[in-house]
Structure 1
Amino acid sequence: MTQHEHRAVRPETRTTDPAYVGLLKQVMTNTLDEDYRAVAERRGSQNRPGVTTTRVGLMAVLVLFGVMVGVSALQTEQDRPRAMAERAALIEQINQRQARYDDLREVIGDTLRRVTRLQSAVAAEVDGNGALGSRIATLGIEAGTLAATGPGIVITVDDAADGSATLGGTILDTDLRQLVNALWESGAEAIAIDGHRLSTLTSIRYAGQAITVGYRSLTPPYTVSVIGDPDTLPSRLLETAGGRMWQGLEANFGITFDLATAERVTVPAAPRDRLVYARPEKAR
């Protein structure tokens, strides 16, 4: 037997750790995707606000809104008595000033009537035949300081009935001024628009959305009362430039222009305006 034949052959044996086998089996059967998914879900749940936090924030907003509404309502309720008191005081002030204005107008009327009587008395003493008194009355009528009554015409003008205000169917302040100037040119002795006497100091103009005559707002239709010769006024009016203009307004824009003669027309006295006189400046 050779040396190789006498060498003992030792069988190779291996021992396996049970823990190692279990871990290997788990790795083979379970992939790592589930672990990644679990970690991602856990992180996502940590980043999202919880339901409780959302509800708390919503409740806080509602409470704040309720407090603001309550404070506003309370402030309004507290300010209401003061606002009502201020409104009542303002109304009372307006009523007092209106009453004062009416009283002053009555005083002015009484004073004017007294002045007229004194003028008549003085004229009667100075001029026995009354020529001076007649002259004073004539001047008063021409100046508008005295009321006047006599024959004449009454003109009623109004905007177009079809409402064509944007197409020229509305009476303007310049239209009334043209009519008044044409009446003076035609021989009118006294004129009043809607009961407001015209004098050399009376203005006719637009103020806001209305035409004002002597700072009094008027609304259409406008009634123009004229004292003068009823036989010649209508024809002479139509011969003036202002009369022809009004004929064009009636024909082209539908503005109403009605003229009627009257045996008795009454116009009031014009209010007395304070006159302002120019004074020369003293030499320096």
Structure 2
Amino acid sequence: MSPRHGSEATEETQRSPDASMTLLTEVYRRPLDPGYADAAARRAAGSEPRRTRRSTAGLVALAIALGLGATAATVALRQPTSSVQEARDLLESQIEQRSTEADAIQADITTMTEEIATLQEEVLGDEAQPVRDQIEADAVQAGVMPVTGPGLRLVLTDAPSDDPDVVDQSLRVQDVDLQVVVNGLWAAGAEAIAVNGQRISAMTAIRSAGDAVLVDLVALSSPYTVEAVGDAVHMQTELARASAGQHLATLRTTYGIGVQLSSQSKLELPGTGLVTMYSARVPESTAAPVPSPGAVEDAPDEDGMAGSAGPTGKDDT
């Protein structure tokens, strides 16, 4: 054995078997810090100065002051600042005021609608029953009057997500899905349609705003209940044959969106009340000029297309 190996063997025989565990061994053997041990020994020997009432009272007062300061700081951090609180109170008061005004206006609309119906009954009388029937039919198509009758109920529900904190738009019912469904029901013969209680008319817009779907500026959320009054069997058959049925099947199988279709013996759809009448006309500046008698049209150009004079007097090419 070489001298180097012999010295290493001697060191190994002299080394404590638990030398690698020195720290843990010291912790087990002397769990108390030396400073604390000395203080405890002095206190046991009586050489440690005794705590007076003044020092004890000072410690208690300091602890109370620290506790009050921590509590005040916590309350101050949790409470909003005065300016933020004032802005919040102002917004809340404005929302309540606008909501009250909207409810009052809606009540006036309902009252006026009933008065208009009463006046129509008085003016028409019993001799103009065909006119009354036509008015009622037009009111139903316009969505003004409530409708009751059998039909279909279609409920669309967002697909469940594995991670609720991650928003996957493909798993949610979107505005285009409701548009396809509503148009498909119209094509299938629906007489009246409502989405979550919002009546669909010729002037209704279905759009999205963030995570919500807007129907006539009313925010809706899942589940979306689409109700259509009409022949339930005929509408269900035509809906399955059309592209809307294929779209619903794709939503169910590909994206996991809930699709529940059922026939209903009685559906009650609300009316929209009075509607705003619109008219349109072509502005005179954009109206096509009427050629005078005997006028000669422009001859075709080299490409075989006739040129026309634009607003600048140059030929549009």
Cα distance in 1 for partners of 2:131, 2:142 equals 16
- State the SS of the aligned residue for 1:232: helix
Candidates 181, 205, 229, aligned match of 2:231: 229
Encode CA deviations 1:172-214: one digit per residue, 9 max, x unaligned: 1111100101000000000000000000110011112211111
- CA shift in 2, pair 1:92/1:244, >3 Å: same
Encode CA deviations 1:139-192: one digit per residue, 9 max, x unaligned: 100110111111111111111234596483221111110010100000000000
- The amino acid of 1:269's aligned partner reads G
Tell me the residue number matched to 2:138: 139
Tell me the residue number matched to 2:214: 212
Cα distance in 1 for partners of 2:162, 2:140 equals 38
TM-score, structure 1 as length reference: 0.65
Q: How does 1:1-284 map to 2 (within 5 A)?
A: 84-127=85-128, 130-162=129-161, 166=168, 168-281=170-283
Cα distance in 2 for partners of 1:168, 1:86 equals 37
State whether residues 163 and 169 of structure 1, in contact with CA within 8 Å, keep that contact through their aligned partners in structure 2. no
Cα distance in 2 for partners of 1:152, 1:201 equals 22
Encode CA deviations 1:27-50: one digit per residue, 9 max, x unaligned: xxxxxxxxxxxxxxxxxxxxxxxx
State whether residues 167 and 253 of structure 1, in contact with CA within 8 Å, keep that contact through their aligned partners in structure 2. no
Q: Percent identity of the aligned residues?
A: 29
Cα drift, residue 270 of structure 1: 1.9
Cα distance in 2 for partners of 1:82, 1:167 equals 37
- CA shift in 2, pair 1:133/1:276, >3 Å: closer
Encode CA deviations 1:94-115: one digit per residue, 9 max, x unaligned: 3222111110010011111221
Tell me the residue number matched to 2:16: none
- State the SS of the aligned residue for 2:254: helix
- State the SS of the aligned residue for 1:152: strand
Cα distance in 2 for partners of 1:155, 1:95 equals 34
State whether residues 151 and 263 of structure 1, in contact with CA within 8 Å, keep that contact through their aligned partners in structure 2. yes
Please provide the CA RMSD for this pair.
Answer: 2.7
Cα distance in 2 for partners of 1:231, 1:86 equals 55
TM-score, structure 2 as length reference: 0.59
- CA shift in 2, pair 1:96/1:235, >3 Å: same
Cα distance in 2 for partners of 1:271, 1:213 equals 16
Encode CA deviations 1:232-282: one digit per residue, 9 max, x unaligned: 111111011111211122122211111111111011112545344334546
Cα distance in 2 for partners of 1:280, 1:254 equals 48
- State the SS of the aligned residue for 2:204: coil
Cα distance in 1 for partners of 2:256, 2:89 equals 46
Cα distance in 2 for partners of 1:171, 1:241 equals 17
- CA shift in 2, pair 1:178/1:90, >3 Å: closer
- Unaligned regions of 5+ residues in structure 1, if any? 1-72
State whether residues 155 and 259 of structure 2, in contact with CA within 8 Å, keep that contact through their aligned partners in structure 1. yes
State whether residues 113 and 273 of structure 2, in contact with CA within 8 Å, keep that contact through their aligned partners in structure 1. no
Cα distance in 2 for partners of 1:81, 1:282 equals 58
- The amino acid of 2:158's aligned partner reads D
Cα distance in 1 for partners of 2:171, 2:93 equals 41
Cα drift, residue 126 of structure 1: 4.3
- The amino acid of 2:95's aligned partner reads I
State whether residues 173 and 257 of structure 2, in contact with CA within 8 Å, keep that contact through their aligned partners in structure 1. yes
State whether residues 175 and 213 of structure 2, in contact with CA within 8 Å, keep that contact through their aligned partners in structure 1. yes
- The amino acid of 2:249's aligned partner reads Q
- State the SS of the aligned residue for 2:245: helix
- State the SS of the aligned residue for 1:231: helix
